[in-house]
């Protein structure tokens, strides 16, 4: 960050390393664009990178986060700020993918054991969204997906995969 607007308060400061989302270009708004040495953008769509995360790791995060956030919003799922009244399950088909591991962390947002940047504290999140991810992946990734929040994992190559999911997932509401 080389300059900060007056509205940002102490959210960001000059010298911070950040990652975030900016439109590549917008011919109707010449000030918006990302293909430049310096980018002018909305501060609240940027995250301060923790020391533990490299700039390259940070650069890989926003596209996935935005995609997964949009998917959750489009599905109309409860949020940590407005959690569901009771727990229900969400099937993440492809739990071991980059996208799957991200979305499971979003679903489990306030569970402190998960792999969020150290700068995000459990107390920053008011409540759980009450959404429990279950996942499909290859057996070699069963441990990985449970690490990222899946309650249970299913091998998508087995012929009985769909029945197996249904048999243990009476509360399944979204996929």
Ligand X SMILES: NC(=O)c1ccc[n+]([C@@H]2O[C@H](COP(=O)([O-])OP(=O)(O)OC[C@H]3O[C@@H](n4cnc5c(N)ncnc54)[C@H](OP(=O)(O)O)[C@@H]3O)[C@@H](O)[C@H]2O)c1
Residues that bind ligand X (CB under 6 A): 63-64, 67, 94, 96-99, 137-138, 141, 156
Using the minimum distance from each CB to ligand X, give the nearer residue, 21 or 168: 21
Least Å distance, CB 16 to ligand X, is 23
3-state secondary structure the chain: CCCCCHHHCCCCCCCCCEEECCCCECCCCCCCECCCCCCCCCHHHEEECCCCCCHHHHHHHHHHHHHHHHHHHHHCCCCCCCCCCCCEEEEEECCCCHHHHHHHHHHCCCCCCCCCCCCCCHHHCCCCCCEEEEEEECHHHHHHHHHCCCCCEEECCCCCHHHHHHHHCCCEEEC
**Please, which residues have CB within 8 angstroms of residue 170's CB and are 6 or more apart in sequence?**
none
Of 132, 137, 141, 131, nearest to 161 (Cα)? 137
Least Å distance, CB 85 to ligand X, is 31
Using the minimum distance from each CB to ligand X, give the nearer residue, 77 or 153: 153
Using the minimum distance from each CB to ligand X, give the nearer residue, 66 or 171: 66
Least Å distance, CB 136 to ligand X, is 7
- Give the nearest residue (CB) to ligand X: 64
Least Å distance, CB 127 to ligand X, is 27
Using the minimum distance from each CB to ligand X, give the nearer residue, 110 or 141: 141
Least Å distance, CB 77 to ligand X, is 18
Using the minimum distance from each CB to ligand X, give the nearer residue, 96 or 129: 96
Using the minimum distance from each CB to ligand X, give the nearer residue, 109 or 135: 135
Least Å distance, CB 64 to ligand X, is 3
Of 98, 114, 79, nearest to 90 (Cα)? 79
């Amino acid at each position: 960050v080389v300059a900060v607007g007056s509205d940002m308060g102490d959210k960001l400061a000059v010298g911070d390393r950040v990652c975030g989302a900016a439109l590549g270009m917008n011919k109707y708004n010449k000030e918006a664009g990302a293909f430049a040495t310096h980018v002018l953008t909305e501060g609240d769509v940027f995250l301060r990178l923790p020391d533990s995360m490299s700039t390259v790791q940070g650069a890989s995060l926003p596209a996935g986060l935005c995609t997964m956030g949009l998917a959750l919003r489009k599905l109309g799922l409860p949020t940590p700020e407005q959690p569901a009244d009771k727990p229900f399950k969400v099937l993440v088909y492809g739990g071991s993918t980059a996208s799957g591991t991200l979305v499971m962390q979003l679903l489990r947002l306030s569970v402190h054991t998960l792999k969020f940047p150290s700068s995000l504290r459990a107390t920053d999140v008011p409540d759980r969204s009450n959404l429990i991810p279950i996942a499909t992946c290859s057996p070699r990734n069963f441990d990985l997906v449970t690490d990222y929040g899946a309650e249970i994992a299913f091998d998508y190559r087995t012929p009985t995969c769909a029945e197996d999911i249904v048999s243990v997932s009476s509360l399944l509401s979204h996929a």
